[in-house]
Every structure is written in C-alpha cells, then in structure tokens.
C-alpha cells in the first residue's frame, strides 16, 4: 500500500495564500482576477497548464517571467504566513505505509512549503508535475509517482483536495480520499470532490487513519 499526498491544501494550508498572490499578479499585468476566480479555475492545476488556459482564453501571450513574479511574491508570503494543515503530521505518523508527495507545484515550491511547515522530514520522495508531460487532471503524475515507488496503481491511495487531483488519481486507477479541510474550502467543497469521484471525504486529518483503513 502506497499513500500519495498532494501538497498544497493537503499537507500545507497554502491554497488561499496562493490564490490571492496569483490574482494580485494577474491583475497587475492586465488580467483582472479575484482570488475566488483563481480558486475556482486553477486550484490543483500546474502553472504550465494555467498559463496555457489563460493565453487561450484571453488570446494573449503572458510575460515570460510570470512564474518568477508569482514565485517571488508567494515565497515571501509563505515565509511569514504558511502553516501546515492542522493535525497532518500526527496523522501521517500514525500510518505505517510507504508515502510520497505528488504535487502540481514546482520542486522548489514543494521543498519550501515542507521546510517552512516542518514536514520535510516525513517525505524522502517528492514528485512534481514538472517531471511529466501532462499535469492533473491527467494521470501522468500519479503514474510516475507509483512507478518510482515500485507500486502498482491499484495499491495506491491518493489524498487530494482538488477536483483535478481527484480526477487524475481516478484516471490512474487509484483510490482517492478527498480532503475538504483547508482554509480555501467553502461549504460546497466536499460535494465538489464527491462529484469528481472521490471514494470518501474527510474534513479533518484526525479522520485520515480510519479513511485509509476503509479503502485499503
């Protein structure tokens, strides 16, 4: 049994911070988005895919340094404001299974997030959407993680907070626990994950162990 954790919104409570920064930078370059707009359209999506969608929708070419602009603002915000998801460390340590991270974020952002929140020591294996051709909701990242961890997809449980992540895990043939306890999750978030196909939903990390036991 392999546990595959998304990072943003599952391990670290970063999505609300990231959506606010993305909206601020996009608005500054002439694409007015609110944090709520970004959350609705792009949570769980890789930066590369977000750029492709924006350029197609607005028929424009975004600045080559957009990623640098966003990372600079976001990393500064993380240093002062990023927190782990409540109870996640204890929940992970209570589970005796191999584990890894599979995130749409860049390796640099994942590493920073885990360091700031004190979770880096829990994961020896971290995989980023930058390592595969297609990000979530395609299955590529999850299949890559499973292959690197020498696990068959049917023996994997993915913990995800986004519909795109749930869809990608299902496409990879994996079971999915939807997490709806992050600061960015509204009252309808659990239902969105359920509609995306999550096998079970939790809103507190204290429920992770029991959810894994049910699915394993």
Confidence of residue 216 (pLDDT cuts 50, 70, 90): confident
Given a contact cutoff of 8 angstroms between Cβ atoms, the answer to whether 83 and 12 are in contact is yes
pLDDT tens column, 14-36: 999 999 999 999 999 999 999 99
Class of domain 2-13+83-215: alpha beta
- What CATH number has the domain spanning 15-81? 1.10.150.240
Spatial separation of the C-alpha atoms in residues 80 and 161, rounded to whole Å: 23
Q: Where are the domains of the chain?
A: 2-13+83-215, 15-81
pLDDT tens column, 126-170: 999 999 999 999 999 999 999 999 999 999 999 999 999 999 999
**How much is the pTM?**
0.91
Spatial separation of the C-alpha atoms in residues 28 and 192, rounded to whole Å: 30
Kindly state the tokens that stand for 194.
């359920």
Spatial separation of the C-alpha atoms in residues 211 and 132, rounded to whole Å: 29
In this prediction, residue 46 carries a pLDDT of 87
């Amino acid at each position: 049994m392999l546990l595959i954790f998304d990072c943003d919104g599952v391990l670290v409570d970063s999505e609300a911070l990231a959506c606010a920064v993305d909206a601020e930078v996009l608005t500054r370059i002439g694409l007015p988005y609110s944090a709520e707009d970004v959350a609705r359209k792009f949570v769980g999506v890789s930066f590369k895919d977000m750029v492709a969608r924006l350029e197609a929708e607005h028929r424009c070419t975004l600045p080559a340094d957009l990623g640098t602009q966003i990372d600079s603002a976001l990393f500064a915000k993380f240093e002062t404001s990023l927190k782990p998801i409540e109870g996640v460390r204890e929940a992970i340590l209570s589970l005796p299974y191999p584990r890894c991270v599979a995130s749409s974020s860049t390796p640099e952002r994942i590493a920073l997030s885990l360091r700031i929140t004190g979770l880096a020591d829990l994961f020896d294996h971290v995989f980023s959407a930058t390592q595969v051709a297609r990000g979530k909701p395609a299955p590529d990242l999850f299949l890559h993680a499973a292959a690197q961890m020498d696990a068959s997809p049917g023996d994997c449980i993915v913990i995800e907070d986004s519909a795109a992540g749930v869809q990608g895990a299902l496409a990879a043939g994996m079971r999915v626990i939807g997490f709806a306890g992050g600061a960015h999750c509204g009252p309808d978030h659990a239902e969105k994950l359920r509609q995306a196909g999550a096998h079970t939903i939790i809103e507190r990390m204290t429920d992770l162990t029991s959810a894994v036991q049910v699915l394993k």
